[in-house]
Amino acid sequence: MGKLLRRVSFVIALVVVSWLAYGPLFAWSPITPGFRTTHTIHAVIRFRDPPGLRVSPEAIEAALVRLQSDLGLDFESSARFLLCDEWTDLARFTPWLRVSHGVGAITLPIGLATYVTPVVRNRDDLLDFLTHEAAHTLLYQHASIRNRLEMERQAWFVEGVAVHFGNPTAYEPRDEFRRASPPDVIRAIDPTANLNQRGVGGFRFSYSADGYFVGYLIEQFGHDRLIAFTRAYVNDPAAYRVEFQHVFGVSFDDALRDLVSLPSESNGSH
Inter-helix orientation angle 182-189/202-221, to 10°? 90
Q: How far is the CB of 211 from Zn ion (least distance, A)?
A: 10
Taking the least distance from each CB to Zn ion, the nearer of 137 and 220 is 137
The residue whose Cβ lies closest to Zn ion is: 162
At 256, the amino acid letter reads L
Q: How far is the CB of 114 from Zn ion (least distance, A)?
A: 10
Our separate counts of H helices and E strands in the chain read 13, 5
**CA 153, 251, 254, 143 torsion-angle sign:** negative
Strand partners, 82: 46, 115
- The phi-psi region of residue 208 (left if phi > 0; otherwise alpha if psi is between -120 and 50; otherwise beta) is alpha
Taking the least distance from each CB to Zn ion, the nearer of 130 and 255 is 130
Taking the least distance from each CB to Zn ion, the nearer of 40 and 107 is 107
Residues engaged in binding Zn ion (CB under 5 A): 159, 162
Q: How far is the CB of 16 from Zn ion (least distance, A)?
A: 32
Taking the least distance from each CB to Zn ion, the nearer of 46 and 164 is 164
Pairwise CA distance, residues 59 & 112, whole Å? 21
* CA atoms within 13 Å, Cβ hemisphere of 136: 28
Question: 183 and 256 in contact (C-beta within 8 Å)?
Answer: no
Q: How far is the CB of 143 from Zn ion (least distance, A)?
A: 15
Taking the least distance from each CB to Zn ion, the nearer of 128 and 159 is 159
Q: How far is the CB of 90 from Zn ion (least distance, A)?
A: 16
